[in-house]
Amino acid sequence: MKNKTDEILLSQLADGELESDQINDVLLDVLDDADRSRQLAEHLRLRQSLGQWRRQKPAGPVIAVSDHPKRYHFPWRLGGLAVAAMLGGALVLAGIWAAGDLGRNDKNGGLPTLDTVTAEQMRQVASVFALRESVAGPLKWYAADDEKIQLASARGSEVGRKPVAVLLRLAPTGADSAQARTYVIVCRDRESATIEFPQAGGASTVRLHLLPGVRDGKVNIQYAITVDGPELAPKTSAALSGQRLVGLEHTPLGQLALADELVNVDASAWVIRKGLK
Amino acid sequence: MSETAAMQLGDHVGRMYRVALRIVGDANDAHDIVQDACVKALRNVARFDGRAAPATWLHRITVNCARDHLRARRRAIRDGLSMNDEITGMLAATETMPSARAERRELYDIASTLVESLPDDCRSAFILTQLDGYSYDEAAIIDNQPRGTMASRVFRAKKILLEQMNARIDGRTQS
C-alpha cells in the first residue's frame, strides 16, 4: 500500500533529487507496481512539459560587469548589450587577473605574475575585444588598465589586419609589489598604437607606443614606453624603447628608472584567432 | 565572493533570466534586468558574506530588480507585488515560445495557468524548482525552509496540479 513518503520519493525521482542508490531502490519498486509506474509517469510528464521553460536563456550575451565611469558614448541605447559592452572590460580584466595569477591578491603579496598566458586568459581577452567591436565597430586598438578602458576605431586597411593581444606589466622592484600595473592591449599587426594611461590620484602617467609584427607565430614588438613621475614629486620621467620577439611566456623588455625607483617591464603577446571566444 | 567567483556569474545567468522572464514577461526586459542584477551583484560583492550559496543570493537580487522594473512600469502598487505577479510574466512570455509536441504544449499551457491557483507555500516551492530550475537544496535556502519541507511542498504542488490538469483533460475528453 502506497503512502505519502513513497509518493514524495517519486516526485523527487522525477526531479533528479535522489541519491543514486535510492534511485535504484525506488525504480525497482516502481517497475513492480503498475499504480506507482503510472504515478511516476505523471510526474515525469509534468516535469517534461515545463522543460522548455527551464531551458530558456537570454537571446544575446549577458556580460557580468563592474562599475565603470562612462567615458565613451556609443550611438546605441544605453541598455542591454550596449551597457554590457561599455562596462565589460573592467571585470574581464579582473577575471584575467584572478584566474591567471595576475590578480592583486595572489600569494606573491599582490605582485601580479605573468609567467605564461593561459588559454583561458587568451579566451577572455578575445571575448572582450569581440564584444567591444560588436558595439563600437572595428577597432584599431583597445587598451585597459584597472581604472579605464580606451578604444580607437580602425579605418581602411587597418580593419583587415590581425588583432594582436599584448599584456604589459610594469612592476617596481623591491618590496612594494602592490604598485605593479598590468595593461591589456589589443592592437593590429603592422599598425602602430599610441596610448596614454593617465593615472588618478597623482600617480605617474604611462605612455605606450607599440608596433607589433607577427612572425612565425610570435609577435615582434617595437616599443617605446615613457613614464612621467607623480605630480607631487619633482618632475621626473623615464623612457624605455626597443624591439623584442614576444610570445605567451613573459618577456622582459627592460627597466625604467624613475627617480629612486626601478620598474621592471615585461610583456606577453599573441595573435587573436577567429573563433577563440 | 571573490573576483574569480564574480566571473562565474555566467553560470547563473540562465536561471536569473528565467526568474526575470516569468515576472516581467518580456525577453528584452528580462535581459536588461539580468544585466542590472549582475551590476548590483558586483557592486555589492563585498557584502556577500558567503553564508548563502551564490545562486540564492543572485536569485534575491534578480527578483528585486524584476520587481523594481514592474513597479516602474505600473501606476499603482498595492502592498508591494502579490505572489501571482511572480508568474504573470510567464504566462505572457509563453505566447512567444516555440511549441514542441502538441500534447506537451497543452500540458504546459494548463500547468502554467493552474500554477496561479496553488497555495502560497507550495506555489513558491514549485516555481523555484520546476520553473526556475533550482535544486531542492537551493530552493530550501531561498525560501528558508528545511529540504524535507521543500520536497513535501513540491510534491503537494504537483499533486494539486496533476489532479486539476487531469480533471480538465477528462472534462474535455467527455464533452
Domain of B1, CATH number, reads 1.10.1740.10
Q: Tell me the three cell numbers of residue A243.
A: 624591439
Domain count of chain B? Answer: 2
Asked if A62 and B34 come within 8 Å (Cβ–Cβ), the reply is yes
Asked if B31 and A8 come within 8 Å (Cβ–Cβ), the reply is no
**Which of B60, B80, B95 is the last residue before a domain boundary?**
B95
The per-residue DSSP string of A247-267 comes to -SB-EEEEEEEETTEEEEEEE
Cα of B109 to nearest chain A Cα, Å: 9
Interface residue of B12, B22, B23, B39 to substitute, partner A, most A CBs within 10 Å: B39
Say whether both B54 and B110 belong to one domain.
no
| pTM of the shown model | 0.49
Q: CA of B158: how far to CAs of A148, B69, B125, in Å?
A: 51, 30, 10
Q: Quick one: how many helices (H) and strands (E) in chain A?
A: 6, 10
CA distance B25 to B90: 5
Amino acid B146: pLDDT? 94
Instruction: Report residue A185: phi and psi, to 5°.
Output: -130, 135
Asked if B38 and A64 come within 8 Å (Cβ–Cβ), the reply is yes
CA distance A112 to A96: 11
Q: Tell me the three cell numbers of residue A13.
A: 525521482
What value of ipTM does the predicted structure carry? Answer: 0.74
Say whether both B88 and B116 belong to one domain.
no
CA distance B164 to B156: 12
Strands A139-144 and A237-246, how do they pair?
unpaired
Amino acid B87: pLDDT? 62
Say whether both A124 and A179 belong to one domain.
yes
Which residues share a beta bridge with A3? none
> Which of B17, B39, B112 is the closest to A65 by Cβ?
B39
Amino acid A92: pLDDT? 43
Give the mean pLDDT of chain A.
74
For chain B, give percent helix, strand, coil, nearest 5. Answer: 80, 0, 20
Q: What is the pLDDT of residues B133-150, one digit of tens each?
A: 999 999 998 888 999 999
In a domain, A117, yes or no: yes
Q: Which residues of A touch B114 (CB under 8 A)?
A: none
Q: What is the pLDDT of residues A221-240, one digit of tens each?
A: 998 888 776 654 555 667 78
Domain around A91: 80-271
- pLDDT of B158 strictly over 60: yes
Domain count of chain A? Answer: 2
- Most confidently predicted of A88-102, A141-155, B1-15: A141-155
Q: What is the pLDDT of residues A52-73, one digit of tens each?
A: 788 887 776 665 444 443 322 2
List the 24-43 stretch of A: residues with Cβ below 8 A of B: 42-43
Say whether both B56 and B78 belong to one domain.
yes
Amino acid A18: pLDDT? 94
In a domain, A68, yes or no: no
Say whether both B20 and B35 belong to one domain.
yes
Domain around B76: 1-95
In a domain, A75, yes or no: no
Q: What is the pLDDT of residues A249-269, one digit of tens each?
A: 889 898 887 667 788 899 999
